[in-house]
Structures are given as structure tokens and as C-alpha cells.
Amino acid sequence: MINNEPRNIGSMMGISPSVKFLLILNVAVFLIEALLRVPLSGWFALPALWWQSLSFGQLFTYMFVHGGYMHLFVNMLGLFFIGPTVERTIGSYRFFVLYYVSGILGGLGWSLLAQDGTYCVGASGAVMGILGAFGALYPQAKLLLWFVIPCRAWMLVLGLAIWELHETITTPLIGGIANAAHLIGGIAGFSYALSLKHPHLLAGLKASLRGKAKPKPSSAPRPDRLTKEQVDAILDKIGKEGMGALTLRERELLKRATRGQG
């Protein structure tokens, strides 16, 4: 169960363990590629048609390589400012689940629309998942858009979702910014955090699905259960034709009726 709002957002600031690890890992990978000329992007990037080459590993590795200094800076900036509050709220293990699931689902979403021959890199889908989770956990928290414009978290998340959806629809053959990865990653993070904040909603959904799948008990009498109509019919037959006219089934029913068995 997650608390609805922190007592003080400011008290939850400062670097957290998982965020520190991810910052170091992303920066280290970038520096290894930039300074040592190791072609990590060529190895780790997610190709549009990754399933043809069974490149399942790239669904994970693509989020740790970036296309340039600014690409890395923007993603790490979002991770640094939003990540610690989310991690301290849901815990380090769930934070890692949030980060990786948002990134992987974002990559999957991008690949469904991407143009053949293009590649996806960057932690944007994972970071958007963290932002979506923050919006679900603390919708009324105040954030500074571009460090200047005050904005509620829910308004920022909703605005970004609408923008990314618009860009995904209007540019279906993606070859530049991975808007679909941003959108799917953000939705994944928001949904995951919402399920943690309100676990009764998920439990209610599961119970509802189980209730629909369970067959309703029939109101018709069981074929082996003796009814008053059956007994009356047998007695009428005896009165008209005698005991000898009864079948074996009717004799058994009559015996059960005299013993008080239904």
C-alpha cells in the first residue's frame, strides 16, 4: 500500500541507491563508447524488426545507450530529479521493475510502428515510466516545467501523453524521436504505480474476472433428486395398474421415498 501524498516532497529529495546506480551505468556506457570508440550502440541498439534476428537482448540493452550528449543529459536529468522520490515511495526493487518494464514495453511499442532499417536507443521510455509513476503517486505535487513554469504533476503527465500520442499518430513511420516508446513507457509506469497505490482496484478487477468466468449454478433439479411430482406419478400408476406395472427405476424411486431419501 502506498501513501497518497508525502508529508513533504522536499524531504524526499537527494540521490537514492537505484537512481545512483542507473546514472552511473548510463554515463559509463556513454563514455566508454565516446572516449574509447567502442561501438556499443551498434551492439546494444534495438532494431525495428528485432524479432527477425531474435534480438531479445536488445529490448533490455537499448535503454543504456544514447544518441548524443544532449540525449543523455535530458534523460539523466529527469531520472535525477524525479527518480529518488519514486524510489523512496515504492522501494528499490519495485523501482527497478518500474524502470525496466517501462523501458522494455516502450521499445516494444516503438518497434510495432518503426520503419525498417531504423534503430531505437536511449532511456526515454524508462524515464517517462518514472514520470508517469510520479504523476500517479503524487498528482497534486508541484513541478517546475523547464525550471520556470509551475505545473501540477497530473497536468504535466497528461500534457506529455497527449503530445506523444499526437506525434505517434501523425508520424507512424518512425525514424527520429521514439514518441511511441515515450508514450507506452509513460502509460506502463503510470499503470504500475497506480496498482501499487490502490491495490484494491486490481483485487476488485481480478475478483470480477473470476466471477464472470465461474459458471452460474443451475436452478433446475438434479436428475437423481426425487421430487413430489415423481412420487405422485408413481402412486397414480400403482392405483391404476398395480405394483407389477412399475419399472425398476420407479421401484427404486418409490423405495427411496418410503425411506425419506431425496
pLDDT tens digit string along 130-158?
999 999 999 999 887 777 788 898 888 89
**What are the start-end ranges of the H helices in 91-152?**
92-113, 124-137
Burial of residue 113 (CB within 10 Å: 0-12, 13-18, 19+) is middle
CA distance 16 to 24: 12
CA distance 83 to 104: 18
CA distance 245 to 85: 86
pLDDT digits (tens, 9 = 90+) for 184-207: 999 999 999 999 988 877 677 667
79 — phi, psi (to 5°)? -65, -40
pLDDT of residue 165: 84
pLDDT of residue 216: 56
**Residue 8 predicted with pLDDT over 90:** no
CA distance 208 to 201: 10
Is this model's pTM higher than 0.75 or not? no
Question: Identity (one letter) of the amino acid at 128?
Answer: M
pLDDT of residue 243: 67
Which region among 8-12, 47-51, 94-98 has the lowest average model confidence (pLDDT)? 8-12
CA distance 39 to 54: 20
Task: Work out the average pLDDT over 79-96.
Answer: 95
**Residue 7 predicted with pLDDT over 50:** no
Q: Is 47 helix (H, G, I), strand (E, B) or coil?
A: strand
**Residue 102 predicted with pLDDT over 90:** yes
Question: Identity (one letter) of the amino acid at 256?
Answer: R
Q: What counts of helices (H) and strands (E) characterise the chain?
A: 11, 4
Mean pLDDT across the chain, nearest whole number? 81
- 158: enclosing H helix or E strand: helix 153-170
Residue 85 makes CB contacts below 8 A (sequence gap 6+) with 6, 9, 12, 13, 134, 138
**Residue 3 predicted with pLDDT over 50:** no
CB atoms within 10 A of CB 54: 8
**Residue 124 falls in the annotated catalytic set:** yes
178 alpha carbon, distance to own chain's centre:
20
| Residue tagged active-site, from 18, 111, 124, 191 | 124
CB atoms within 10 A of CB 40: 18
8 Å CB contact between 25 and 64 = yes
8 Å CB contact between 109 and 183 = yes
**Residue 16 predicted with pLDDT over 60:** yes
pLDDT of residue 184: 92
Q: Is 24 helix (H, G, I), strand (E, B) or coil?
A: helix
**Residue 71 falls in the annotated catalytic set:** no
pLDDT of residue 262: 43
pLDDT of residue 121: 92
pLDDT of residue 1: 46
pLDDT of residue 10: 43
**Which of 103 and 226 is assigned the larger pLDDT?**
103
**Residue 118 predicted with pLDDT over 80:** yes
pLDDT of residue 232: 77
Residue 107 Cα distances to 98, 157, 210, 213, 260, angstroms? 14, 19, 32, 33, 70
**Which of 234 and 65 is assigned the larger pLDDT?**
65
Going by pLDDT thresholds of 50, 70 and 90, the confidence category of residue 23 is very high
| Residue tagged active-site, from 41, 182, 191, 208 | 182
8 Å CB contact between 44 and 61 = yes
pLDDT digits (tens, 9 = 90+) for 211-240: 766 555 555 444 456 677 777 787 777 766
pLDDT of residue 22: 97
CA distance 72 to 101: 20
